[in-house]
């Protein structure tokens, strides 16, 4: 009896697998629309960690710009921003703009721990109304964008990017 049940179970599993496979072949795959960053660096005015408002274009100036949307509770963001902070001297010729939607107190605590907020080319901005997140359609952090001195998009990434790659993209 057990042998018969096992054979029946085996036949049902094989048949079910074949049926599901046949259904999958008949469906056309759904393609997700590609979402890409804006070709031109948008000019939002946001508050920084000191409560001062700043224009993203003013902060970017006419330099290559590394624009990162992050969340301090994200371990990938912690790793990426931590790696940048360890090699901050290599970024001194570029504008670094870090933006988050987090509450100000959380952002300040994280930023203080990085030890780079007093560098003149480093800017931490608060996207309190989620304007930037909505505009960029942020779905994952860290979202990393590199713009040239003319504020045109050069590269975009999601997740951790090796520092050498960021520096290479910024120098192009």
**Does the model's pTM come out above 0.95?**
no
In the chain, pLDDT over 90 holds for what percent of residues?
Answer: 72
pLDDT at 22 over 70: no
| Angle, in degrees to the nearest 10, between helices 75-86 and 163-171 | 60
SS3 110: helix
What is the arithmetic mean of pLDDT over 126-139?
94
Residue pLDDT, tens place only, 80-98 = 999 999 999 999 999 999 9
Average pLDDT, the chain: 86
Superfamily of domain 45-171: Glutaredoxin (3.40.30.10)
Question: Distance between CA atoms of 123 and 48, rounded to whole angstroms?
Answer: 7
Range 35-67 burial, b when 16+ CB lie within 10 A, else e: eebeeebeebebebbeeeebebbebbeebbbbb
- Residues 6+ positions from 67 with CB-CB distance below 8 Å: 41, 56, 60, 97, 99, 144, 145, 146, 147
Question: Distance between CA atoms of 152 and 95, rounded to whole angstroms?
Answer: 14
């Amino acid at each position: 009896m057990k042998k018969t049940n096992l054979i029946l179970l085996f036949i049902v599993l094989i048949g079910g697998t074949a049926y599901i496979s046949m259904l999958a072949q008949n469906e056309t795959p759904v393609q997700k629309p590609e979402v890409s960053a804006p070709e031109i660096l948008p000019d939002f005015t946001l508050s920084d960690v000191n409560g001062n408002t700043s224009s993203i274009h003013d902060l970017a100036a006419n330099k290559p710009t590394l624009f990162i949307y992050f969340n301090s509770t994200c371990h990938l963001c912690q790793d990426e921003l931590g790696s940048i902070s360890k090699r901050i001297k290599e970024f001194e010729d570029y504008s670094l703009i870090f933006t988050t939607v987090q509450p100000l107190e959380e952002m300040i605590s994280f930023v203080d721990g990085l030890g780079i907020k007093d560098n003149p080319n480093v800017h931490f901005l608060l996207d309190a109304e989620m304007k930037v997140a909505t505009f960029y359609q942020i779905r994952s952090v860290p979202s990393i964008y590199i713009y040239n001195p003319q504020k045109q998009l050069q590269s975009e990434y999601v997740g951790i990017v090796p520092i050498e790659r960021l520096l290479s993209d910024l120098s192009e």
